Amino acid sequence: MPCQQHKEALIEAAANGAELQGDLRAHLAGCTDCRATFEEERSLFASIDAGLHVAANAEVPASLLPRVRTRLEQGAAPRRIGATSWLVLASAAVLFVVFLAARALWRPNAVRQPVEMSAKVPPPEHVTAPSEKQAAESPLGKDDVSNHQLVISKHHAALVAAKTTPDVLVLDDQEILLAEYAEQWSLHKHPLLLAQQFDATILSPLQVEPIQIDELGVKPLAEEKLQ
Amino acid sequence: MQELVLDQPGRTVGEELEHGAAQAETRREFEERLVECGPLAYRVARGVLRNTADAEDVAQEALLRAYRQFDRLRDRTRFRAWLVRIAFRLALDRLRSGKRRELRDTLWSQPEYHPPAANAEDIAASNEFQAHLDNALAELPGKLRLVLLLAAMKGHTIDEIAGMLGLSTGTVKSRIFYARRKLAEKLRCHANNIKRR
């Protein structure tokens, strides 16, 4: 075992390959263990250097350069960013901008569409589902549920129909009749009643009779007790 | 009489000739560097991969990549350093892929890659030590490994390595010192075991 106080200095000296000097040299002259350790370390670093030399200076295969030249001949031309490349890049950039613009325009339409549709489609006649209790109490509970589903499906069908322009097939002699009917229907069509446009004067005030309350007879408690 | 003129799409004849001449000049310039630096690319790759076939593939790929981007290299005196970095990076990528690990291990133990030894025991000991060194080298961080490999190659001074890697000579020296110390720590017990036999 080497002396602990000299161990690090011995390893460093062996790694550097330098000659020992001063106190360390004097110590090694008298300490067999430290001298042996120093020799081992020098041998170890010499082996490492020899191994590295072998690993780093391998013989280059004779086929390397001919293979590279062959590949170069096959057309591994240097890449130049020429006018064509710039055109391709510019086209790609323009396409990207167009795509972004199209996406930006598409989104508001998608939001507006249901509002417009809701104005066109008449509200369903009955949309509230009966509670489970009501359905159980009524002998026709199941029918009510099925009716409710029917109403919803009608409403859904109306929504779907409103999305597309309806095509009506009629006989030749009925075209005029249909046109007249459509005109009259559009004349009778009322605009939506909005809260802001509501005129309160068109409604007559509500007539409510005053409540009849009989007069109360109040007697003092003391008199009641005396009686 | 109307004269017919053939419009050639893309480059004109003059531009085509100019382009051809520029390409030939690039090729000639690259050819000089190929002879000078090709072996370096191979050795760097082999130092990392420790396999002849893989190292040759990587060196070839590094040289082709360097040629394709040769026009982008404005300072041609930096070609050597540039190629070393490309080869080293490609070799590390190949090493990480690990596809040919088994083959590499087999080829690495071939005696043709080791210095001649006095007898069969020495050869065995040398091969065993070399295998341990190989593993220890693979465990070193990349920046230490590259500096150590370049320092171990013939004809590379510390100043050249520093210039090649864009480091100060002090940094190169400290990296070499630190890398050797690391290797020694890993190999000390193996070296003692081999000696005791």
B3 CA: distance to closest CA in chain A (Å): 30
Among chain B residues, the shortest Cα distance to A11 is held by B181
> If you search the block for the tokens 């129909």, which residue do you land on?
A161
> If you search the block for the tokens 């007697």, which residue do you land on?
A219
Question: Nearest CB to B183: which of A48, A63, A64?
Answer: A48
Residues in chain B: 197
Residues of B in contact with A53 (CB under 8 A): 152
- With residues binned 3-state (H G I as helix, E B as strand, rest as coil), the percentages for chain B, rounded to 5, are 80, 0, 20
Give the whole-angstrom CA distance, residue A48 versus residue B180.
Answer: 8
Buried b (16+ CB within 10 A) or exposed e, B87-124: bbbbbbebbeeeebeeebeebbeeeebbeeeeeeeeee
Arithmetic mean of pLDDT, B98-110: 54
Residues of B in contact with A42 (CB under 8 A): none
B38 CA: distance to closest CA in chain A (Å): 7
CA-nearest of B150, B127, B129 to B45 is: B150
Report pLDDT for A3. 79
Higher pLDDT, B139 or B23: B139
CA-nearest of B124, B107, B153 to A55 is: B153
Report pLDDT for B61. 93
Report pLDDT for A140. 47
B185 CA: distance to closest CA in chain A (Å): 10
CB contact under 8 A, A78 and B23: yes
List the domains of chain B with CATH numbers.
15-100 (1.10.1740.10), 108-197 (1.10.10.10)
Query: Residue A54 in contact with residue B49, Cβ under 8 Å?
Result: no
DSSP secondary-structure letter at B110? Answer: -
Query: Residue A57 in contact with residue B154, Cβ under 8 Å?
Result: yes
Residues of A in contact with B71 (CB under 8 A): 78-80
A5 CA: distance to closest CA in chain B (Å): 18
| Residue A69 token pair | 């030249």
Query: Residue B146 in contact with residue B137, Cβ under 8 Å?
Result: no
Confidence class of residue B26 from pLDDT cuts 50, 70 and 90?
confident
Distances (CA, A) of A127 to A114, A121, A160, A193: 19, 14, 17, 21
Mean pLDDT, chain B, integer:
79
pTM: 0.53
Among chain A residues, the shortest Cα distance to B62 is held by A68
Does the structure show a pLDDT above 50 at B112? Answer: no
Quick one: residue A17, left, alpha or beta (phi over 0 = left, psi -120 to 50 = alpha)? left
CB contact under 8 A, A57 and B183: no
Name every residue in A having a CB less than 8 A away from some CB of B: 11, 15-16, 40-41, 43-45, 47-58, 60-61, 63-65, 67-69, 71-72, 76-80, 84
| Pick among A1, A10, A39, A47 to test the B interface (most B CBs inside 10 A) | A47
Residues of B in contact with A40 (CB under 8 A): 191-192
pLDDT tens track for B114-155: 444 445 666 666 778 888 888 888 889 988 999 999 999 887
Give the whole-angstrom CA distance, residue B1 versus residue B4.
Answer: 9
Query: Sign of the C-alpha dihedral, residues A138, A142, A146, A149?
Result: positive
| Pick among B16, B27, B32, B88 to test the A interface (most A CBs inside 10 A) | B27
- Secondary structure class of B5 (helix, strand, coil): coil
A53 CA: distance to closest CA in chain B (Å): 5
pLDDT tens track for A84-95: 667 888 899 999
CB contact under 8 A, B42 and A61: yes
Report pLDDT for A111. 47
Return the HEC string of A125-194. Answer: CCCCCCCHHHHHHCCCHHHHHHHHHHHHHHHHHHHHHHHCCCCCCCCHHHHHHHHHHHHHHHHCCCCCCC
| Residue B170 token pair | 């002090």
Residues of B in contact with A72 (CB under 8 A): 27, 30, 64, 67
Report pLDDT for A198. 57
Give the whole-angstrom CA distance, residue A77 versus residue B68.
Answer: 6
CA-nearest of B64, B60, B59 to B48 is: B59
Name B102's Cβ contacts closer than 8 Å, sequence gap at least 6.
none
Residues of B in contact with A62 (CB under 8 A): none
CA-nearest of B149, B37, B36 to B82 is: B37
pLDDT tens track for B171-193: 999 999 999 999 998 888 776 66
Distances (CA, A) of A168 to A165, A174, A179, A181: 10, 11, 11, 13
Q: Which of A80-84, B47-51, B58-62 has the lowest mean pLDDT?
A: A80-84
What is the value of ipTM here, to two decimals? 0.71
| Residue B147 token pair | 């500096």
Distances (CA, A) of B141 to B62, B148, B150: 21, 11, 15
Q: Which residues of chain A have pLDDT under 50?
A: 111-119, 121, 124-130, 135-136, 138-142, 145
B120 CA: distance to closest CA in chain A (Å): 18
Question: Nearest CB to B154: which of A11, A57, A65?
Answer: A57
